[in-house]
Structure formats: C-alpha cells, structure tokens
Chain A
Amino acid sequence: MLRRRLNRLLGGDERRVDSRTIYVGHRSSSTTEAFIPPKFCDNRIVSSKYTVWNFLPKNLFEQFRRIANFYFLIIFLVQVIVDTPTSPVTSGLPLFFVITVTAIKQGYEDWLRHKADNEVNKYPVTVLEQGRKIRKESEKIKVGDVVEVEEDETFPCDLILLQSSRDDDTCFVTTASLDGESNHKTHYTVPDTEKDLESLNATIECEQPQPDLYKFVGRMHIYKNEQEPAVRSLGPENLLLKGATLKNTQKICGVAVYTGMETKMALNYQGKSQKRSAVEKSINAFLLVYLCILVSKALVCTTLKYVWQSKPGQDEPWYNEKTQREKDTNLYLKMFTDFLSFMVLFNFIIPVSMYVTVEMQKFLGSFFITWDKDFFDPEIKEGALVNTSDLNEELGQVEYVFTDKTGTLTQNNMEFIECCIDGFQYKYRDANSELDGFCVTDGPVNKVQEKAGREREELFLRALCLCHTVQVKESTKQSQGDGLIDQVDGFGVDGEVPRPPQEQRGFIASSPDEVALVKGAMRYGFTFLGLESKTMKILTRNNDVEMYELLHVLNFDPVRRRMSVIVRSKSGDTLLFCKGADSSIFPRVRQEEVERIRMNVERNATEGYRTLCVAYKYLSAEEYAQADAGLREARLALQDREEQLITIYNQVETGMSLIGATAVEDRLQEEAAETMEALQGAGIKVWVLTGDKMETAKSTCYACRLFQRNTELLELTVRTLDDGGRRREERLHELLLEYHKKAVQDAPPVKAGVTRTWSSATQDYGFIIDGATLSMVLNSSSESNSSRYKNLFLQICQNCASVLCCRMAPLQKAQIVKMVKNSKGSPITLSIGDGANDVSMILEAHVGIGIKGKEGRQAVRNSDYAIPKLKHLKKLLLAHGHLYYVRIAHLVQYFFYKNLCFILPQFLYQFFCGYSQQPLYDAAYLTMYNICFTSMPILAYSLLEQHICMEVLLDNSTLYREIAKNAMLRWGPFLYWTLLGVFHGLLFFFGVRYLFSNPALQDNGQVFGNWSYGTIVFTVLVFTVTLKLALDTRHWTWINHFVIWGSLAFYMFFSFFWGGIIWPFLKQQRLYFVFANMLSSVSAWLVIILLILLSLLPEILLVVFRKPRGPHARQLSEGGLLQTSRLQRSHHYPTST
C-alpha cells in the first residue's frame, strides 16, 4: 500500500521529470484510494489560427507586424491626425484594400483548416467504458480511454496497443499519411496483458510528448490482485500513431496516451521556418534607399519652405492669411508637422501595392509549376508540388546543388546482382530461360568455376533469408490481386513474372535493399515464407521447411550501419546473423576472412553496386543469456534507452565470422546524366552528398558525368589520410595545402560575378571527401587550424567542378550545406533528396526539393518544391526558375521606377507652389495610380513574360548564367532604373512646365489651371509607364494586349467619368471637365505625344544598341547549330546595364 502511494508520488515527481502516468480505462490502481484523474489536454486538433471572435483583432495584429503594412498605417494615421495635403483616403484606401485581400485569403485558408479540423475532431470513434462500447466524437477522447479501432480506420490519437484481433498479438499499420511510407509496419501488443480489458488494471508511465515519430519509451505496470505489479517495457512498436491507418487487422483496442495537440502528428505539424528569397532581400535594400530618398526629399522641402517663408510677404500675403490655429501653433511643432506632411505627400514613392503584386505574382505564378505537364510522372500519377511559393525566383539563382545519391541520382529500385561467398563470386546470370537456371538443386548457380563449399553457400543463403525485417504479404489478400502488391513497394513488377504460386508472394520492407536480398536468396532456392508468432519459416532448396525462432532483432540504424537477428534453430543452436556495410562489419569479424572478400566488395563498389557484408556467429548458451538479459534490460530503460541498446548491440556483434557479401544494383534515374550536364552547363556546381560508400558513389558520379574521364580527382578520405603512414592530422594538413595549391592557386583566376568564363580548357577537378575526414576538417583539434582548414576546404571545393561527399550522416549533409551557404558571397544553395536522411539538408538549403521517391514522403513534406523525378530539376531550374527570376526582378525594378517618376513631378512642383505641400495630382489619381492604372499590366507581365522561350532556355543551359548572382537586382540595374525614373519625372514636369509658361492653351483663349497641369503630367505618366512596359514585353499573349490597352482605355474612361459628374461626396470638384477640356486642346495633345515619345526614345535606342539576345538565341536553336551557338556565346553576355 505504502509502496503504491510512493509510486503515485513518484509518478507525480516523474511527471515533472519528463514522464506522465496514465491510468488505463481511468481505473485507479487501487479501488480504495480516491482516484484523481490527471489533467491532460483533450483530443481536439486545432490547426486553425483564428476563431470567429478573434479573427479580426488577431489577423490585423499579424498583418501590421509586417513592417511595410505598419509603415502605411503610420502614414495613414499621420494623415488623419495632422493637416496633410492629401486626404487620408489616398493612403487609407490602398491599405484597406491590401489588408482586406490578405485577410480574406488568410480567412479562407483558416476556414479550410477549420473544416479539416472538424472532419478529424467530429469523426465518430468507439470507446470502451465500463464494458460498454460507446460511440463518441473523436475530440472527446481523454487520455486513458480505451479506444477500439477497426480495419482501415485511422487512429484518433496516439494509442498503446493492448489487444489485437490477430492471433499473434500484432497488428499492421500504414503510416502513409504521416511519413508517406506505404509499407505495412507491424506493431505489437503489450506482452502478457489480460485478454479481458474490463479487468485490466494498469498504469502506463511514459515520456512527455515529443515530436520524433520513431521514438517512444514507456513502461506499463499491470496490477493483478494485490501481487507485485508486472512491469512491461513499451517502445515505438507498441505505439499506434494518430493519423496512421490500421491494415490487415480486423480491430484493435488501445489506450490513449497522447491526445489532441500532444500527439506526435500534431507536434510534427509545426510549420517550417520561413525561408526568405534573395529577391526579397534586394527589395528591402531598395526600399531602404527609397526611404532615404523620401526622407531627404521631405527634409529638403521643409528646409526650403522655411527659407522661403522668411522673405517678407511670402509667408502670409494679404490674399492668403493663415487661420487662427495656424498662427497659434508652436513654430517647431509646425516644422515637424510640415515634415510629416511632406512625407505623406511623397509617400507614394514606396508603393503599398508592390507587396500585394509581388505576393500575387508568387502565388499565382507557382501554379504554373503544378500545372506543368512535363512534371507529370505517369508512374506515380502525380505532378510537381509547390509547398511554398515564396521561393519561385530563387530557382533561377541556384549556384550550388546538393544532391542525395540513393533515390535521387539513382532509382532506389534494387536488384540483386551477385554475391560472393568466401571470396568466390556468384553471378546470377539470367540465361534465356530465366527461371529454371537457379532452380537447379545441385549447386547454387551454374556459374563460376570455383565454388565455396555447399555448407557455406547454404549458410549464406539462410543468413539472407533470416537477417532482415521483411514481411510477407498476406496470401489471404491474393484475391485483391497484383494491383495491391504493386502499390506496396513496386517489387511485384520488378520481380519475375511467371512464378509457381507459392513464390508469387509480396515482400514488404522499409528498405528496398532487404527485399532485393530476400528475393535474391529466393532465386538461389531459399525462400522466406514468413514470420509467424516469432518463428521464421524458410523453404530450402530441397523444399524442406525450416523453422527458426526469432529471439531478437538488433535493428538497423544509420550510425551502426548494420542490423542483426538472433535466431534459434530447430536443433537448438543460437545463431546471430549480421549484415551491414563493409566498414561496419570488417572490424567485427575475424581479420583473416576479410581480405578474400574485401577485394570483391571493392570491385562491386567500383561498378556502382551497393554492397553489404554478411556475417554470423554461434552464440553459446551463456553468451546468449547474457545478451538476452542485456537487451531486455536496455529495452526497459526509461532514460537513455537508445544509448544503452547501442552499447549492448555493439557488445553482441563482435567476433563474428564473415560469410560473404552481396551486390545490389541501383540503377540511375532517367536522364540523370543529361540533367547533371545541363546543371553544370548552367554554371551550377553539383555536390553529391551521400551516406553510401566512396567507390559506389564515385562510380555513380562517373555514370552521371559529374566526373569526366579527364577530371582529376582530389581525394581527401580516410584512405588517403592513412597512406603516408603518419598521423592523420599532419597528413590532412599536408593534403589540404597540396590540393589548395593545385585547385586554387594554380588555377587561372576566375572572374567573379556574371561574366564567369565559360568552362575553359583548364583542368577540371573533382573533390572527394568522406564523413570521417570532414568531421576532422570541421572539428580540428586546435581552434586556429579548424577555421583555416575550413577555409582551405571551402576554397578547394569551390574551385572544383563537382564535389562528392560520401559516408555522410544526415546532420553532416546539413553542415556542409550550411557551410557553403554561409561562405563568401552567400551563394544560393539547393538541396534535392528523397529520403528522411535528406530532410536536414533540404531544410537547411535556400531551396529544398523533395523527390517523390520510394523512401517515404518525409523529404516531400519538408521540401519547398517536390518533383516526381530528378530529370524534372532541369526544367524547374533552367526554364521555370529563369523565367520567374526575370519576371520578379523586372516587377520589382519596374515598381520602384514607376513610383519614382510618379512622385518626382510632385516633388518638383513644391518649388513652384511655395513649398506648401500642394499635390500636383488629384486625390483620385494619387489613389488609383498604383491600384488600377498601372498594376494590371505589370502583373500580367510578371506572370506571362517569356523573354526567351522555354525550349531555348532548356537547350542552352548557359543562358542561366546570365542571371546568376542576382544579376537583374544588383545596384547597377537598380541605378539604371532609378535614373530612368528620374529622367522621366524631370521630363514630365518640365515639359509641361514650359508648356504652361503660357497657360492659354485652348483655341478660344481660355486658360488652364493647376489641375489641368497635374492631369497632363499624369496622363503622360500613365501612358509612358505603361508603354515602357509594353516595350519590355517580349511575349505578347492576348492577355498582355488586353491588360495593357485595357489599362490605358480604363484610364481614359475613368478620367472622363470622374470629371464628368459633380460628385456630391467630394468637397471640391477639382477635376470637373478638366480632362475633357485638356483633350480639346491641341497643344495638350501635342505635348503629351512629344513627352511620351521623348521618354521612350532612350529605351528604344538601348534596345537597338544592346545585342539582340533573345531572338538571337531563338534563331540559333531553330537552326540547331550548336557550333554557332558556341561561337557566338561571347555575344550573349550583356554588358550589365
């Protein structure tokens, strides 16, 4: 009794120390004690951000946290409070528009989330309460409830599996919706729980919720009639995750341990950190410049105003007296409000609408990626996926591509090629009759002359059959046919087609290598029949069924790079079979065996195969007992279970003897080589980061043409380090210096920036480094060396055509990406990968691309863009990326330009109106300029422009270099656009100014006033700005025509309309018939035409003088003359404007 109390107390303590106690079925461990249910959150999933009540305040708050919106809010408030030249409407309306549109978009998205949440939360589930089954809504599940789930239902919360309808106390689960792995995973009930859940009296202690899907530690105390409670360990194999689906099992019962927002799914839902594109950074820099211009303009005007006013008679002539309030105001306060007024007057120079337009452009533009039918893969029946539209233009700026090997460069479609047993090579040759070849009973293969002993062969094949975690697809599902099998892992198709019925079985495994191996063994006559209640059955060559009791599985993990099983054969021998990477196996076997096999392994690796070594050992009874105890103890540990397990694993997996090795081929992805070549042609450096062995990776690199025959390889691996026979540190130092001299110092100086020389005749270098060496480079013993090595390493790498990093742990991949990302010039990086091990580098890089491959969907979920195949990367970067970049860069520059020449005349006008903040344009024009008159053409341009058509972009990958390093948004082009804006602004203002030196412009002698002045300037402005865009448009679809001419027509129509009516809500009818009168004046027409033409003249000239690039390239590709395209490549480089 006391002890239980203590337990409870401890439980309470433990909760604070990261664990929680759950009472199964809410039954306290003792009936006598008062039961206080612990408080946990309910099972509601809330992914929505807002409710109906808090939407408005919360959304507004979020929106005004953006610096731009806040700025406009301040301007608006200034307008409301201070007496400013323009009415608050002029900035309030656009701001309101922006805020409303954004709020509607976010509201709609949130509504969708609410709907999705409700669907999940209101889903009916069955809960067992006091022996009765009660249907409940999913959100009402509490921690401790016993929940019943039927086949093909998803689990409503994280459950500990208590009972399964299957005899072997297992159930199958697919986590496709969580991590995309569509294979069936086996989960186990807690051992020795009572069949009658009613009388089960147990508590579960487990860790506090944490997001790792594959980690769970807990402990279950089962109380039975006052006995000492039985303790069972709980691991991830007992935990059914919310969101996963029950398969192949009629129903299960489980107790809820984590609910609602504490489930692993919900914890994993957290949004990714926002990535910002380089363009956005440029925008912010430009914004700062314009802000400075704005402030200095306001300052100049304020100063001049007071200088001007100091002259007698200017400040307050008799015809223009100040109001009493103005006279009373403090001089300094007046100066300040004057400054604010000028700020307000000129604030249109920073356009609100630019943010909206940029966002719309990105959002709408990203649809073109999803719509692209070239990205559609008929095999998986999916196209590209855009997870974020913020980075579209970044695709056109990539300088470094980090690619995974397995599944990305290669297909991850494994095929058993050969094996070697005791140093003898067995090659599976598909003779003409592919099946009968290996069914022969004598000798495994009719192949190589020399063979290992039959015993060894069989041992090897048995090892292949036993040492894995493959499941056999239920034969009961046969009725559902092949389609289902295909779905599972695609092995049904690559397996041999006509087969005796018993061999027509599917295998399910999380790693395709394992399936390949099991199938390989099957070819040699050893068939794995399945695992039934801890017994593995295999069918031997002689058609005997052998049974092995599966005692332990020492799981695979990427650090150990091996896995083992401990089985007990019928004869009572306890055997350990181990398979794994050579580097992790060789040190653990008897050394004399190694040499024979190492040769084979290395040869296979150079051929590009994935190799695994197989080893075994007999365990004596004591050894086994010791291992068994250790494993059990470690599995029960609540803390540091992983570490303890690994220690035990390492203890057990020693002193084995090597039997043989296998070679599995992983074929290259379609067009992998072409894609890589195109990327290199585009000036992108490709780095391969793989966990695979150096030899395999190297051969893949050769196959992908990342390394050419004439590429000189600079190797920095454990092997080269060990060569010299000296300390590794010294050797590393020496090699780094040597390579640095070779690749960096001796290389001809490469011109930085846009005009990088087109891969010249100089020696290409390839660089190879492995994980161990990398960590030596990065974490060198002495502090000073470390940064120096890092620098040397980076410089070498950056001067190499391609870099191969092998034996990388996932974190190391991210480290490399980070290192390059933060190196000088902060190049734009792109990571592409398909597996969970690539997630870290996908998240780290500027742009993360996931491949919808076989290794689950984790990479896709964490990526910014997902494509079905590697080959699609070429179009994504060279065509889409290029176009997006050009579009958005032009959009940004154009926006700044058009607002500069919009506001400059207004600024100049201050010099003629006594610095009185008199606006030049009517309020309607001020408001509508950015919203209506000039916004649509640029939006259409930024969505549809193809200054070079896609085919040409794809054919000439060098075109990609033209926009490298943010070429269109550097200070040069920015200065050009700014000067253009200034030129236009000056021209508009002074052109009309000289016209107005005699304001009698009509043929009836009547004169024009200030609003006519403004309207003429504004008309010139709208036309010039729109026609400037028209000049820049190289791709006129009907939409462009419609929008450009439509905008101008709309301007005319609006001006007539606006000036045609006495608007009752306006205080002043400033524009009444101003526009119509303007059009009745021939002089006004003439000056408008003159000024438009004059402003566009330099532009036209520039177009002519600039070497015609687009059309040039187009003609070339039509001619298909690669030769000429190379000859004339020198013309392609624009003298950066």
Chain B
Amino acid sequence: MMASSYNAKEEDGHNSGASNNGGAGVVKSKKPDNTAFKQQRLPAWQPILTAGTVLPAFFVIGLIFIPIGIGLFVSSNNIKEFEIDYTGVDINNPCYNCAKNFSWNSTTPCVCSVPFTLEQPFESNVFMYYGLSNFYQNHRRYVKSRDDSQLNGDQSALKNPSKECEPYRTSEGQPIAPCGAIANSLFNDTLELYHIDSNGTRNTIPLVKKGIAWWTDKHVKFRNPGGNNNLTVAFQGTSKPVNWRKPVYELDPSDPENNGFINEDFIVWMRTAALPTFRKLYRIIQKKSSTTPTLPSGKYLLEITYNYPVLSFDGRKRMILSTISWMGGKNPFLGIAYITVGSICFFLGVVLLIIHHKYDTRNNSPDIPN
C-alpha cells in the first residue's frame, strides 16, 4: 500500500513534468479555457422573489393603481356623451319612412329630422360620431378589399386596381376609383345639427370636418393622383364606386384639400373598425368662447339625409355627441379595472403580510435550537 501511494505520487510528478516539457501549445489546445462563460460562472444577479421582496411591490402597485383608477373613473364620468339611434326601425321614429322606402335608384334624397334634448350642457369641444352596429367592417373579405397604392396616388394602380378589390374592381369596363368594398360602402348619410332656441328658431351648429382623420393618413398614406388640383382630369377614365352617388372628386368640391382620396370622411371610413359595433368620428364642434358652453342644454334637431341602408343586414345607425378627456372617449372600463386591480394588489399585500408573518415565526422557531 505504501508503494502504491508512492507510485501515485511519482506518476503525478512525472506527468506534470512531461506536460511542461510538451510545450504549452499542446496542453492549451486540449485543456478547456478557464473563462467564466465556458465554465458557466458568469457573474450573475440571482433575484430571489420572496414574500419579503414582493410584499412592498404589492403595496406600491396598489397605491399607484387605485389613484390612477379613480382619476380615470372620474374623468370618464365627467365626459358628457349623448347617443341617439336614428335607424328608423320603430314606426314612431322620424326616419321610419326613409328606412322603409330606401331604394338605391332614388334620385331624391330622403331627409328626416330627429329632435332631441340635451339635459346638460357640453362644455368643451364636442365630437360628433356616427355609430354603426352589426356592420362587419372587420370581415376578412371586406378588410382586404382595397388598394393602398391606388389610394396613395399611384397612377398605374389607379388604372389597374389590385385584384383584391374584386368584385368592386371595375364597373362598365372602367376601373373603379377608389376600388374595393370598403370604399364602395362609404358612409354617406349627411348629419346636420340644429339648436332650437327657446323661441323655436333653428340655429345651425357649425360642424368642422377637418382634423377627424389621422394626420399621417391624411398627409402621407392617402394622396390624390397628380396633385390636388384638377381632380376631374386626374380621375378621367375611372368609374365611381357602384353604390356612390357622386364620383370621388366631388366628395367635397368646396375644398381641394379635402377632396378626392384625401377627403377626411373617406379616410376615416377607410380605417376599418375592430369590432362589428363601432363609431367613427364625423364632425367636431369647436368651442367658441370660454364663457358659453359649446352645446348648451336644450332642444336640438338632428337632420339626416338618409342615404345609407342598414336594415337589410339588421344593422343600426347612431349619432353620438361626446366630449373627450385626456384618455379619449367615455369608457368606464379602464377606471374600474385599475381600481379593481389596485385593490386586489393591496388586499393581497395585506393577506401576504399576515401569512408571511405567521410563516416566519413558524419557520424561525425550529431554527433556534440549531
């Protein structure tokens, strides 16, 4: 046994000698590098999530979320919103006749007026939306039925729209501009708002039709072919969408900056909605002075040029008046959600604190004897 241990030592000595003689190069090539990465010893932060570290986080989250939630809830509640359905399903509805007698071929527009009363004044800028229900703007066949290069003013696409536009691609042998189902079904009711004075006179409320579309859409994504002037010439050789009453270059003849493809109503419509019940910005009622409310409480009249049929697919049309806060339109969901989550966190924090406290004492007691 003595000998064997002696031999072992001898062996070691011998080998270390040999390896030294063998030259560093040989050894280096075989021996693994002693780097932190290769030895899986990179310096590392090893976070330990324990009750102790997580507890404060719960309280902090709770303390942050609850105020935010309250803020959201309050501002959502402060938003004034008024909604009126003018589809005309009900026989008492002023638009009943327009809805019933709708025909694509009628030349005279059907006009109906819906009176309503605002109980409370709308103080700041008021945004006027139209809302549609059961309208599947997010149907795949519908969503893809557009040609963005045509809308971007591309000449070749204007004359030869994309295949995706079928069956709204050509009409009577001419390419449709703008092509596709989305453009074809452009919302074309005209809504006008009147304030009825106490003495019964109708005052037209000025509706601003600019600033309702995304700036980038209006200025970059949508462009008229060959500039904004002389649209009639630019769109020569194209046909209007089949369901439209007038060609695209007559959408807003009064303002060349809002005509053709860059008409804001058109751009807003072209941004397809996420859900089958949706609203789209129609007009803005600017606040005139700081003293008077934009829309004082009182009687109003909504005059609709009823062009857009929705009954065939059981849809509904609404007009919505709403003010806007920093968080957008009225939506209590966020506020409630924040308050709920904040409270849950806070509550969990308390529960955890209790459990942690108990667990700790239980855990510590057997450790003491050790």
Alpha-carbon gap, A1121 to B333, bound state (A):
54
Nearest B residue to A1037 via CB reads B42
Could you tell me the distance in whole angstroms from the C-beta of A147 to the nearest C-beta in chain B?
Answer: 33
Point out the residues of chain B lying under 8 angstroms from A1034, CB to CB. Answer: 46-47
Alpha-carbon gap, A1101 to B351, bound state (A):
11
Alpha-carbon gap, A1076 to B215, bound state (A):
12
Point out the residues of chain A lying under 8 angstroms from B313, CB to CB. Answer: 313-314, 317-319
- Beta-carbon contact of B50 and A1104 below 8 Å: yes
- Beta-carbon contact of B220 and A1062 below 8 Å: yes
- Beta-carbon contact of B181 and A320 below 8 Å: yes
Point out the residues of chain B lying under 8 angstroms from A322, CB to CB. Answer: 141, 167
- Beta-carbon contact of B370 and A371 below 8 Å: no
Point out the residues of chain A lying under 8 angstroms from B136, CB to CB. Answer: 317, 320, 913-914, 916
Interface presence of B278 (CB below 8 A): yes
- Beta-carbon contact of B152 and A1062 below 8 Å: yes
Point out the residues of chain B lying under 8 angstroms from A1087, CB to CB. Answer: 334
Interface presence of B103 (CB below 8 A): no
Interface presence of B272 (CB below 8 A): yes
Point out the residues of chain A lying under 8 angstroms from B50, CB to CB. Answer: 1104, 1108, 1111
Interface range on chain B (Cβ under 8 Å from partner): 35 or more
Q: Which of B1-24 contact A (CB under 8 A)?
A: 2-4, 7, 10-11, 14-16, 18-19
Alpha-carbon gap, A1038 to B43, bound state (A):
8
- Beta-carbon contact of A1003 and B276 below 8 Å: no
Point out the residues of chain B lying under 8 angstroms from A415, CB to CB. Answer: 4
Point out the residues of chain B lying under 8 angstroms from A1038, CB to CB. Answer: 42-43
- Beta-carbon contact of B7 and A493 below 8 Å: yes
Q: Which of A941-1000 contact B (CB under 8 A)?
A: 944, 946, 949-950, 991, 993-1000
Given contacts A320-B181, A1067-B148, contact A1093 B324 (CB under 8 A): no
- Beta-carbon contact of A1007 and B271 below 8 Å: yes
Alpha-carbon gap, A493 to B17, bound state (A):
13
Point out the residues of chain A lying under 8 angstroms from B152, CB to CB. Answer: 1062, 1069
Could you list 28 A-B pairs, sorted by A, with CB under 8 Å?
A319-B243, A321-B167, A323-B167, A324-B166, A372-B32, A372-B38, A373-B38, A376-B32, A493-B11, A916-B138, A919-B140, A946-B44, A994-B331, A1000-B279, A1006-B212, A1007-B268, A1007-B280, A1012-B274, A1072-B216, A1073-B221, A1077-B214, A1082-B326, A1090-B338, A1093-B341, A1097-B344, A1100-B57, A1108-B49, A1127-B366
Other-chain residue from B31, B221, B326 in contact with A1003 (beta carbon distance below 8 A): B326
Q: Which of A411-426 contact B (CB under 8 A)?
A: 415
Point out the residues of chain B lying under 8 angstroms from A1081, CB to CB. Answer: 328
Interface presence of B146 (CB below 8 A): yes
Point out the residues of chain B lying under 8 angstroms from A1033, CB to CB. Answer: 47
Alpha-carbon gap, A1000 to B212, bound state (A):
11
- Beta-carbon contact of B327 and A1086 below 8 Å: yes
Point out the residues of chain A lying under 8 angstroms from B10, CB to CB. Answer: 493, 497
Nearest A residue to B351 via CB reads A1101
Point out the residues of chain A lying under 8 angstroms from B54, CB to CB. Answer: 1100, 1103-1104
Interface presence of B129 (CB below 8 A): yes
Interface presence of B171 (CB below 8 A): no
User: Which 5 A/B pairs are nearest by Cβ-Cβ distance?
Assistant: A319-B185, A1000-B329, A1013-B274, A371-B38, A1005-B127
Point out the residues of chain B lying under 8 angstroms from A376, CB to CB. Answer: 30-32
Point out the residues of chain B lying under 8 angstroms from A944, CB to CB. Answer: 40, 42
- Beta-carbon contact of B138 and A918 below 8 Å: yes
Of A917, A991, A1004, A1008, the most chain B CB neighbours within 10 A belong to A1004
- Beta-carbon contact of A368 and B327 below 8 Å: no
Other-chain residue from B185, B268, B326, B329 in contact with A320 (beta carbon distance below 8 A): B185
Q: Which of A1044-1062 contact B (CB under 8 A)?
A: 1062
- Beta-carbon contact of B327 and A1009 below 8 Å: no
Point out the residues of chain B lying under 8 angstroms from A991, CB to CB. Answer: 337
Other-chain residue from B15, B33, B48 in contact with A1111 (beta carbon distance below 8 A): B48
- Beta-carbon contact of B166 and A323 below 8 Å: yes
Other-chain residue from A378, A1082, A1100 in contact with B49 (beta carbon distance below 8 A): A1100
Could you tell me the distance in whole angstroms from the C-beta of A941 to the nearest C-beta in chain B?
Answer: 12
Of A991, A1007, A1036, the most chain B CB neighbours within 10 A belong to A1007
Point out the residues of chain A lying under 8 angstroms from B322, CB to CB. Answer: 1000, 1005
Q: Which of A905-945 contact B (CB under 8 A)?
A: 912-914, 916-919, 944
Interface presence of A810 (CB below 8 A): no
Could you tell me the distance in whole angstroms from the C-beta of B64 to the nearest C-beta in chain A?
Answer: 10
Of B61, B216, B352, the most chain A CB neighbours within 10 A belong to B216
Point out the residues of chain B lying under 8 angstroms from A292, CB to CB. Answer: none
Alpha-carbon gap, A918 to B352, bound state (A):
44
Which of A71-79, A379-387, A734-742, A1020-1028 sits within the interface?
A379-387
Point out the residues of chain B lying under 8 angstroms from A1012, CB to CB. Answer: 274
Given contacts A912-B138, A1067-B164, contact A1121 B370 (CB under 8 A): yes
Point out the residues of chain A lying under 8 angstroms from B330, CB to CB. Answer: 998
- Beta-carbon contact of A998 and B329 below 8 Å: yes
- Beta-carbon contact of B273 and A1010 below 8 Å: yes
Interface presence of A1124 (CB below 8 A): yes
Other-chain residue from B162, B213, B328 in contact with A1083 (beta carbon distance below 8 A): B328
Nearest B residue to A913 via CB reads B138
- Beta-carbon contact of B272 and A1009 below 8 Å: yes
Interface presence of B312 (CB below 8 A): yes
Q: Mark interface residues in B224-256 (1 if CB within 8 Å of A CB, else 0).
A: 000000000000000000010000000000000
- Beta-carbon contact of B38 and A368 below 8 Å: yes
Alpha-carbon gap, A1011 to B46, bound state (A):
39
Interface presence of B143 (CB below 8 A): yes
Nearest A residue to B2 via CB reads A430
Given contacts A317-B312, A1087-B334, contact A1035 B44 (CB under 8 A): yes
Interface presence of B343 (CB below 8 A): no
Q: Which of B258-309 contact A (CB under 8 A)?
A: 268, 271-276, 278-281, 284, 309
Alpha-carbon gap, A665 to B135, bound state (A):
91
Other-chain residue from B33, B146, B279 in contact with A1007 (beta carbon distance below 8 A): B279
- Beta-carbon contact of A1036 and B45 below 8 Å: yes
Interface presence of B72 (CB below 8 A): yes
Alpha-carbon gap, A483 to B26, bound state (A):
15
Interface presence of B170 (CB below 8 A): no
Given contacts A912-B275, A1086-B68, contact A486 B18 (CB under 8 A): yes
Could you tell me the distance in whole angstroms from the C-beta of A495 to the nearest C-beta in chain B?
Answer: 9
Given contacts A381-B19, A382-B30, contact A321 B221 (CB under 8 A): no
Interface presence of B39 (CB below 8 A): yes
Nearest A residue to B213 via CB reads A1006
Point out the residues of chain B lying under 8 angstroms from A1000, CB to CB. Answer: 127, 129, 279, 281, 322, 324, 328-329
Interface presence of A1123 (CB below 8 A): yes
Point out the residues of chain B lying under 8 angstroms from A314, CB to CB. Answer: 313
- Beta-carbon contact of A1009 and B274 below 8 Å: yes
- Beta-carbon contact of A946 and B337 below 8 Å: no
Interface presence of B105 (CB below 8 A): no
Alpha-carbon gap, A479 to B140, bound state (A):
87
- Beta-carbon contact of B278 and A999 below 8 Å: yes
Could you tell me the distance in whole angstroms from the C-beta of B221 to the nearest C-beta in chain A?
Answer: 5
Alpha-carbon gap, A1033 to B49, bound state (A):
11
Nearest A residue to B314 via CB reads A313
Q: Which of A46-103 contact B (CB under 8 A)?
A: 85
- Beta-carbon contact of A1003 and B32 below 8 Å: no
Nearest B residue to A311 via CB reads B314
Q: Mark interface residues in B133-154 (1 if CB within 8 Å of A CB, else 0).
A: 0011111111111111100100
Nearest B residue to A1005 via CB reads B127
Interface presence of A1001 (CB below 8 A): yes
Given contacts A318-B313, A1003-B324, A1038-B42, contact A494 B7 (CB under 8 A): yes
Alpha-carbon gap, A917 to B140, bound state (A):
6
Could you tell me the distance in whole angstroms from the C-beta of A414 to the nearest C-beta in chain B?
Answer: 11
Alpha-carbon gap, A497 to B330, bound state (A):
96
- Beta-carbon contact of A493 and B40 below 8 Å: no
Interface presence of B217 (CB below 8 A): yes
Q: Mark interface residues in A1101-1129 (1 if CB within 8 Å of B CB, else 0).
A: 10110001011000000000101100100
Point out the residues of chain A lying under 8 angstroms from B141, CB to CB. Answer: 320, 322, 916
